[in-house]
Structure 1
């Protein structure tokens, strides 16, 4: 058996104002190295005898523990031992700046053994200064005078009986609660405390190989009534992402935007973060060339943040519609609204439709018989002829609409660039004047 004891010094975390994840989350992080992880007092203990060779030996594993530290601002203290209690005792000596004794475990100071701390005064009067002094006392007398716990701890420390610990396991759903250090009366105060929970969420997601799609932040109100009005016990908000993510910086920005638009009904005393929906994590795809990996936010992250800040109805995206009519080929929906895939419109396979279609075609002016849109248009491709007998619809020419015949062109505007325009072909529904001089309309933009 071989054990490693870890500790993140809280005094260093406080000096650097670094938020340590909850102990349970640090245990989840350690599960990537070994399935045998347990918290004992102030230390996180890892039993690594069965898996240390997978990490290149004990020295390689110790290096990986430092390299993958979940709190880079706080260096992790780490020591090794043949049993869990020896590793824990050496960690306590390391934290105090004391060198390890030459003889292990007999030379370890008595105050580094948790089971002996309640009896240090009496043991000192008996002349006991280290573990070896106590171990040499008669077993029966030691048990009668100090109880079975001290003798049992020494048996474990010397390897006479196996270590027994309740191993940590990874939950299927992330849910963590946190008591706030002081009552939070504003959204920024809540966000400051939520950083610890988001760090724990990232550790859980990486351990489960999952990406979060939706999470819920809930806070407990400290008052039951305010100004004579009954208050709910909790308030909460839900944040959703377009794709699975493990990026807590992006989740932090989304929560900040949503909290900035939320009013607290009363001061909050507790905070809870829960994963609502997750999906398998595929990792990030990057290119071999540096120019392929552009810095900055990805598009969907920008859209999510703008939607959280401005409201979902203010950030729209174009959605393809399965329709022959150009006016109905595109609809604008909230960018974060999850729509099922829409079949492509049945049309000519070589049609080059623009990405931006106008809600209503814009009639163009004519100069010497040539259509104009920010200058005289120059036709580049076409015509593409489109004919339909149900063009209008109710209120637009009858129950089934009136026939429409159009010739579509790709044209170039001096100022607007490439545009998609059409010319009406004469039909029996046009007046005599309209039939003499065909009308031109702007249908879409390529810019």
Structure 2
């Protein structure tokens, strides 16, 4: 199922948003998905394929909603279809994917679909109040009495017919213009309008996987300017390295505007990117990528530990111990490996051991595990651990063991590693501790 987002711009109800506003918003939206289109008075983008890239639906939603508000978007909504998302946005409902889309669309007013608006009077006279009423009308009667666009738009909104869009193409260069809401007499006051253009610029840079090291802000003087003031002015901002952080770029712009004086009131501004450079994206993977193929495992672990914390990354190390379950220790990865190594034993060692030995059932004095076990090799005594202190909740104990190990054969489970203890507990009890592959 697809996931669509629709963005509606703030505008006078009698005046739709300008083409320049829609183009600017669509250019910014291309950083989230290559499938961006302008539909009627809204910008829609198909983001299902980008959800995982941006950290999930919630993270993607928060980023789009947060920045779209600064670009003068009054409403953002989500739905399985683009026309459905526009309908929810016009109705002031953001989430159109939290239930059956048919039932949720049925409850919306009729005018949220543009193709229905020319027929509102007739549909109202027929007793229709919501989209569900329109959908309940006979399809044959709708197609004969109204134009084809009404039935087509309804089917597309409900996902019954495919939607066709003309996708926006990312421009090769960035140059955006904006008319200010009122005449501006001081340069610092230009920042309010310029911030929107900077956010658009950073969206365009993100879509190109690039950054800018220089951009220019131009302002155009009002037509009623004094003689000799000229048509306008400009301010060029340069950075030490290519970047696309809107907050940092706006801070630099604010610092420079504070030292600038306008020769006359300004009515329009324009932002243009001068120097654009590709940015190397930092890998979010914990494993070395192709560019790091020559990196040793030690350096990889050091980098991962620096990212997650030294106690979050551990690796197993072998230490010298007679008890097999204590021959493997876990320690923080950045620490050097101990010099001691586990001592090789002539007695067969299992490939897998259990975290906790499993007590076996008995038939007389013979241990059982999926059948009676046949003791093949043994006994091999392992004794020690008096030096190993284990802190418990109530007291401190030692991990001393005195065990006789055998290699046993089970009729169904194959060769196993079993033992019975000689220190405390039930001396007649047998335990399964490992298996051989």
TM-score, reference length from structure 1: 0.51
Instruction: Please give the alpha-carbon distance, in whole angstroms, between the structure 2 residues aligned to 1:132 and 1:245.
Output: 49
Task: Tell me the equivalent position of 2:387.
Answer: none
Instruction: Please give the alpha-carbon distance, in whole angstroms, between the structure 2 residues aligned to 1:192 and 1:48.
Output: 29
Task: Tell me the equivalent position of 1:305.
Answer: none
Superposed, 1:315-354 pairs within 5 Å as: none
Query: Alignment partner of 1:34: what SS?
Result: coil
Change in CA separation of 1:9 and 1:230 when aligned onto 2, cut-off 3 Å = closer
> Unaligned stretches of 5+ in structure 1?
12-20, 291-447
> Unaligned stretches of 5+ in structure 2?
12-19, 284-302, 308-437
Correspondence for 1:262 among 253, 260, 263: 260
Report the alpha carbon displacement of residue 269 of structure 1 after superposing the two structures with TM.
0.3
Task: Tell me the equivalent position of 1:163.
Answer: 163
Task: Tell me the equivalent position of 2:110.
Answer: 110
Contact 1:223–1:231 (8 Å) recurs in 2: no
Change in CA separation of 1:30 and 1:189 when aligned onto 2, cut-off 3 Å = closer
Task: Tell me the equivalent position of 2:209.
Answer: 209
RMSD: 4.0
Asked if residue 71 in structure 1 is aligned to residue 66 in structure 2, the reply is yes
Task: Tell me the equivalent position of 1:368.
Answer: none
Instruction: Please give the alpha-carbon distance, in whole angstroms, between the structure 1 residues aligned to 2:105 and 2:251.
Output: 50
Instruction: Please give the alpha-carbon distance, in whole angstroms, between the structure 1 residues aligned to 2:229 and 2:129.
Output: 59
Change in CA separation of 1:225 and 1:68 when aligned onto 2, cut-off 3 Å = closer
Instruction: Please give the alpha-carbon distance, in whole angstroms, between the structure 2 residues aligned to 1:274 and 1:217.
Output: 7
Task: Tell me the equivalent position of 1:347.
Answer: none
Correspondence for 1:273 among 271, 274, 277: 271
Contact 1:9–1:74 (8 Å) recurs in 2: no
Task: Tell me the equivalent position of 2:311.
Answer: none
Between 1:171-180 and 1:97-106, the stretch displaced more is 97-106
Change in CA separation of 1:31 and 1:200 when aligned onto 2, cut-off 3 Å = closer
Change in CA separation of 1:197 and 1:70 when aligned onto 2, cut-off 3 Å = farther
Report the alpha carbon displacement of residue 138 of structure 1 after superposing the two structures with TM.
5.6
Query: Alignment partner of 2:83: what SS?
Result: helix
Task: Tell me the equivalent position of 1:192.
Answer: 192
Task: Tell me the equivalent position of 1:123.
Answer: 123
Query: Alignment partner of 1:177: what SS?
Result: strand
Instruction: Please give the alpha-carbon distance, in whole angstroms, between the structure 1 residues aligned to 2:92 and 2:44.
Output: 15
Query: Alignment partner of 2:66: what SS?
Result: coil
Query: Alignment partner of 1:71: what SS?
Result: helix
Instruction: Please give the alpha-carbon distance, in whole angstroms, between the structure 2 residues aligned to 1:128 and 1:217.
Output: 52
Instruction: Please give the alpha-carbon distance, in whole angstroms, between the structure 1 residues aligned to 2:252 and 2:34.
Output: 34
Asked if residue 253 in structure 1 is aligned to residue 251 in structure 2, the reply is yes
Instruction: Please give the alpha-carbon distance, in whole angstroms, between the structure 2 residues aligned to 1:25 and 1:239.
Output: 21
Instruction: Please give the alpha-carbon distance, in whole angstroms, between the structure 2 residues aligned to 1:79 and 1:220.
Output: 36
Report the alpha carbon displacement of residue 66 of structure 1 after superposing the two structures with TM.
2.4
Contact 2:79–2:95 (8 Å) recurs in 1: no
Q: How many residues align?
A: 275
Instruction: Please give the alpha-carbon distance, in whole angstroms, between the structure 1 residues aligned to 2:259 and 2:5.
Output: 44
Task: Tell me the equivalent position of 1:34.
Answer: 33
Report the alpha carbon displacement of residue 154 of structure 1 after superposing the two structures with TM.
2.2
Report the alpha carbon displacement of residue 79 of structure 1 after superposing the two structures with TM.
5.0
Report the alpha carbon displacement of residue 259 of structure 1 after superposing the two structures with TM.
2.8
Contact 1:210–1:280 (8 Å) recurs in 2: yes
Query: Alignment partner of 1:273: what SS?
Result: strand
Report the alpha carbon displacement of residue 177 of structure 1 after superposing the two structures with TM.
0.9
Change in CA separation of 1:194 and 1:148 when aligned onto 2, cut-off 3 Å = same
Contact 2:51–2:57 (8 Å) recurs in 1: no
TM-score, reference length from structure 2: 0.52
Report the alpha carbon displacement of residue 22 of structure 1 after superposing the two structures with TM.
5.9
Instruction: Please give the alpha-carbon distance, in whole angstroms, between the structure 2 residues aligned to 1:103 and 1:187.
Output: 52
Instruction: Please give the alpha-carbon distance, in whole angstroms, between the structure 1 residues aligned to 2:213 and 2:51.
Output: 36
Task: Tell me the equivalent position of 2:222.
Answer: 222
